[in-house]
Amino acid sequence: MSRSPRRIGFTMIELLVVIAIAGVLFGMLMPAVQMVRESANRTVCQNNLKQLALACHNYQSTFGHLPPGYLAVPKDDSSFHTFFNPFGDLTITGQNVGLLTYLLPYIEQENIFRQVTVSLDPYKYDISDPACQSWYLNHPSDLAAAQSVIQTFLCPSGIGDPNATHQQTYWSEEIIISVFSSFKMWNDGLHQTPFIPLGLTNYTGVSGSRGDGFSGSDLLTGQCTYDSYYQQFAGLFNNRSQNSLDKIPDGTSCTLMIGECQGEVISAGYLEFGLAWFGIGSLMTKYGLRGPLSYDDQNSPTWAAFQSNHRVVHFAFADGSVHGLKRDGTLPNDFGFTPPGAPPSNAGPNWLLLQQLAGVADGALVQSGTLWDD
């Protein structure tokens, strides 16, 4: 009796059926995998913020107050106007050290902290003293330390391209971004080389709605003026500030301390410039909370606002707790100037709530509300 030959392999139709089934299963599993990955990223991000909040508390225990938001030109100095000129003489803009540098010893980065040579004394400012001059121009050891990549400063869902192509230096009374992820050092408008990739961060301190409300300075006398509306929402971290956790009228559980940030994008997912952890000090909340949309979208990431690639923006509060805040209704819907003494005319319904959380002494004891998403 003859036997039919044994068939080895699959027919083309069988292979196509298997591939189709695999494709369907893959399509079903991918969203679940992405959800699990994002959930894990959120946990890491929340833990990072928790560690930074605890570092602030430990600093307070050591020195009796919180670290300053950043070290820039004192506002009562007549040279303060140079603070707004990104192409001016950067040697007289203060030390330009930001909040996160002060926290290094409290997040197990003592070795990097020992490399810092620029003065960290908020009371010390003398442009003739090399110790008080910009760390990225006059302190090679600091510049080398600033290239360190510190995972506690990075959100796993954040934008952190070390090859960012936009090189400029911005700084202002409530925001200090003294250097970006890659940059050409500027000095009196002259381009210096080479490009230097700096360690980035996705976290920075909260300065309040518009910092401490500073609105201008006389170029000759250094006389300062403040916007009374925004002054009421002054936050924990500003220029040479030394706030204390036990002296927060609104309470530590009602006050934002550190939040998520991304830098600037020129298209979806592409970082135009990043935030260097050595120099970034604090951001304001005036421009609302932003998300990971395209550059042309109103809600797109911008260097001037807190933002994240999560469905919420995480913040560490002054009591050490970490919460996710929704973006809904927090936008002022424009970046234009508003009349002194008044909020943006078209601010969203949750804009004021965000400013109250950012301020330390506005009198609003906000502990929950429509922004919460835990």
Lowest mean pLDDT among 105-114, 293-302, 338-347: 293-302
C-alpha span between 65 and 85 (Å, rounded):
31
pLDDT at residue 191 tops 70: no
C-alpha span between 320 and 106 (Å, rounded):
14
pLDDT, tens digit, for every residue of 314-324? Answer: 999 999 999 99
Q: Which of 302, 286, 178, 177 is nearest to 231 (CA)?
A: 286
pLDDT at 64: 95
Lowest mean pLDDT among 35-39, 79-83, 255-259, 274-278: 79-83
Lowest mean pLDDT among 7-21, 77-91, 275-289: 77-91
Residue 125 vs residues 41, 150, 240, 265, 277: alpha-carbon distances, Å: 41, 28, 10, 34, 22
More confident residue, 157 or 174: 157
CB 287 within 8 A of CB 174: no
State residue 201 phi and psi, 5-degree precision: -140, 150
Q: What is the DSSP letter of 313?
A: E
Q: Is the peptide bond before 67 cis (omega within 30 degrees of 0)?
A: no
Q: Which residues of 258-272 are buried (b: 16+ CB within 10 A; e: fewer)?
A: bbbbbbbbeeeeebb
Q: What is the DSSP letter of 190?
A: E
pLDDT at residue 90 tops 50: no
Q: What is the pLDDT of the chain when averaged over all its residues?
A: 76
pLDDT at residue 361 tops 80: yes
pLDDT at residue 111 tops 90: yes
C-alpha span between 175 and 152 (Å, rounded):
21
C-alpha span between 254 and 241 (Å, rounded):
19
C-alpha span between 104 and 303 (Å, rounded):
23
C-alpha span between 157 and 357 (Å, rounded):
25
Encoding tokens for residue 34?
């992405």
Percent of the chain predicted with pLDDT > 70:
67
pLDDT at residue 65 tops 80: yes
CB 235 within 8 A of CB 286: no
pLDDT at 325: 94
**Nearest-5° Cα angle at 365, 364 to 366:** 95
pLDDT at 188: 31
pLDDT at 311: 87
pLDDT at 86: 40
pLDDT at 71: 86
Encoding tokens for residue 72?
């820039």
pLDDT, tens digit, for every residue of 198-228? Answer: 788 899 999 999 888 877 666 566 677 778 8
pLDDT band at 293 (very low <50, low <70, confident <90, very high): low
How is the chain split among helix, strand and coil, in percent rounded to 5?
Answer: 30, 15, 55
State residue 202 phi and psi, 5-degree precision: -110, 15
pLDDT at residue 165 tops 50: no
Handedness of CA 111, 115, 117, 118 (dihedral sign): negative
Encoding tokens for residue 365?
């004891």
CB 145 within 8 A of CB 112: yes
If you average pLDDT over residues 29-47, what whole number do you get?
75
C-alpha span between 101 and 67 (Å, rounded):
10
More confident residue, 30 or 340: 340
pLDDT at 102: 97
C-alpha span between 290 and 198 (Å, rounded):
24
Q: What is the DSSP letter of 264?
A: E
Q: What's the pTM?
A: 0.81
If you average pLDDT over residues 231-258, what whole number do you get?
92
